[in-house]
Chain A
Amino acid sequence: MLEIRWHSRAGQGAVTGAKGLADVISTTGKDVQAFAFYGSAKRGAAMTAYNRVDDKPIMNHEKYMEPDYVFVIDPALVYTTDVTINAKENTVFIITTHMSREELVASQPKLEGKEVHTVDCIKIAQETIGRAIPNTPMLGAFMKISGMYEIEFFKDSMKRILAKLPQKIVDANMLAIQRAYDEVK
């Protein structure tokens, strides 16, 4: 079982990202689950979304999770929420930030001793898609760090999922995924 927790703000596309990732993985024969914590949260409120992946049918519906990966797609959430909650020894963090890993860990000591990767998904999204929607670049970074799929297979799969969007936006997302894949440290 592979488990992922997303930290996001409502409106930044974590749910869409989690569902998109689940869709891609499902095509490779694995069982998937993608969900989020909802409430009356409005746009901009901190929220979490989740992925589960397994080779056998997933029956667990508990919301509690000790994630293998934590994705943080808004840079401020590292300070305003506990992104390390319920983490395991070997949980891998991929965090959106303009800072270096060292600067980031110094600014949030809870990340000390953890496997932390950094990538500026906000900047990448702004420069490619033209809006601060950091969900697809995070998936590009995840492909690099996890080695889950070849990036070309992943991009082709995402093209199908994003097919309802205008071609220009789809192309920009592909650029964003590739840039995050190349730039994640």
Chain B
Amino acid sequence: MAFDKMELRDIEVWDGNFAAAQALRQCQIDVVSAYPITPSTPIVEGYAKFLADGYVEGEFVMVESEHAAMSGCIGASAAGGRVATATSSQGFALMVETLYQASGMRLPIVLNVVNRALAAPLNVNGDHSDMYLGRDSGWIQLDAYSPQEAYDLNFIAFRVAEDHDVRLPCMVHQDGFMTSHTAQGVHTMDDDTAYGFVGDFKPMNDMLDFEHPVTHGVQTEEDWHFEHKARQHNDLMTKVMPKIQAAFDDFEKLTGRKYNIVEKYDMDDADVAVVCMGTSVETAREVALEMREKGIKAGVVGLRVVRPFPFFEIQEALKDVKAIAALDRSSPNGAPGMLFNEIAGALFNTDTKALLSGYVYGLGGRDLTKKHLTDLYTELQANVDAGKVLTPLQQFIGVRGPKLAFL
């Protein structure tokens, strides 16, 4: 079956969802098994339309739930195809059981997660609760801050996940609505260039290779389970980052767009730094530049790779700063935030004397304004001047009512 190519302008005005759908088309996904949920629906809808219009050679499987959607992806991937889907929030939560199956079976599925709050109370807007829910699932997690990056990182995801030394599924995260429904200029690749970057799918231990029968999804008890899990963790810890870096390098050669495992902005001489993810990284970049005009040496660190956690890259990025704010867009529900904990863990045995404080913000899509970030940087500078953290270690930004602070 043949398919048509699509003419794209060099810069298209796309939202994050359509950018991801276009990337799935250009990667020529064999199977998308999907159950739509706001705000990620247009990604799989987009693929389905491209398929119906003859721009993709593949199959769209409509299923009865997100659990079934990922199960379908697992089956198709084990059979030996290039597979992707998309979800958000409650759908992601329902998928969790199968996420562990996908990674444990070493299936290179790409899942676009359009980040959204988790109920209750029900909320369709963007925060990182679902991203955080997936962080121990054995998947690679990449984070986009804009529609451009949602497009680009899909190609990176297939390249890394499908590498025979990796063979692990990969999530591409983007912020619900703030990226997924925000139209911005996206620099495109033509179809041949884009497909050339990911290349033909090379199956491994595929079930449809009848000459070489294999078993997928086996049971192992005390005798072998730990070895499988240890090996998966080993590969995440040792093999994935070099492959991601290599993919970033190749992508830069191809497009001129440079990605880093940890993104650093104005960090060379920074005294105070904000560490965050998603669209907040870009807003913080703008505020950091404004703070510098006011004499505060502000910088921003963004996680591009959430899992595996960039332990050494975070150490390196933060080694010379005097005060750090870790911004978590998910309720830790009874603990310091994930970023606070991971950064503390990365810096603990180093020589740094940096002051670390945590902030919870933006739940359920609550706006993170430039004013919030200006106040935050000012607070960090006050900590530097005092030589100690003057505030509680965990504060909430932008929540109504009496100021909430803990620890």
Contacts and interface: CB of A to CB of B under 8 A. Distances in A.
Interface of A: 18-19, 22-23, 26, 31-36, 38-40, 58-64
A38 B177 contact: yes
A39 B117 CA distance: 12
B13 A26 contact: yes
B370 A33 contact: no
Interface in B274-319: 279-280, 282-283, 285-286
A32 B285 CA distance: 17
Given A32-B184, A33-B183, A35-B183, A22 B279 contact: no
B178 interface: yes
Given A59-B282, A61-B279, A32 B13 contact: yes
Contacts of A64: 367, 369-371
A36 B13 CA distance: 15
Given A26-B185, A35-B177, A39-B124, A59 B13 contact: no
Nearest to B122: A40
B11 A26 contact: yes
Interface string B6-41: 000001010100000000000000000000000100
Nearest to A18: B183
B395 interface: no
A26 B283 CA distance: 21
B125 interface: yes
Given A22-B183, A35-B182, A64-B370, 17 more contacts: A19-B183, A26-B13, A26-B185, A31-B184, A31-B185, A32-B13, A32-B183, A32-B185, A35-B178, A35-B181, A40-B124, A60-B286, A61-B182, A61-B368, A62-B367, A63-B367, A63-B369
* Nearest 6 pairs of A and B residues by beta carbon: A61-B279, A59-B282, A35-B182, A34-B183, A23-B13, A63-B367
Contacts of A18: 183
A150 B280 CA distance: 36
Contact of A58 (B125, B184, B371): B184
A19 B369 contact: no
B6 to A, nearest CB: 14
Contacts of B370: 60, 62, 64
A34 B185 contact: no
Contact of B125 (A19, A35, A38, A62): A38
A59 B370 CA distance: 11
B279 to A, nearest CB: 4
Interface string B145-177: 000000000000000000000000000000101
Contacts of A40: 124
B180 to A, nearest CB: 10
Is the contact region of chain B dominated by helix, strand, or loop, or is it mixed?
mixed
Range for the number of chain B residues in contact with chain A = 20 to 34
Given A19-B13, A32-B184, A38 B282 contact: no
Nearest to A34: B183
Nearest to A62: B369
A59 B283 contact: yes
Contacts of A58: 184
Interface string B365-378: 00111110000000
Contacts of A63: 367, 369
Contact of A61 (B39, B280, B371): B280
Given A23-B13, A39-B124, A64-B367, A59 B286 contact: yes
A36 B177 CA distance: 8
A34 B368 contact: no
Contacts of A34: 13, 182-184
Contacts of B285: 59
A139 to B, nearest CB: 15
B368 A62 contact: yes
Interface string B176-218: 0110011111000000000000000000000000000000000
A32 to B, nearest CB: 6
Nearest to B373: A62
Interface string B254-281: 0000000000000000000000000110
Contacts of B283: 59-62
Nearest to B368: A62
A49 B383 CA distance: 39
B184 A38 contact: no
Contact of B282 (A19, A26, A60): A60
Nearest to A50: B182
26 contacts: A18-B183, A19-B15, A19-B183, A22-B183, A26-B11, A26-B185, A31-B184, A31-B185, A32-B183, A32-B185, A33-B182, A34-B182, A34-B184, A35-B178, A35-B182, A36-B181, A38-B124, A38-B125, A59-B282, A60-B286, A61-B175, A61-B283, A62-B367, A62-B368, A64-B369, A64-B370
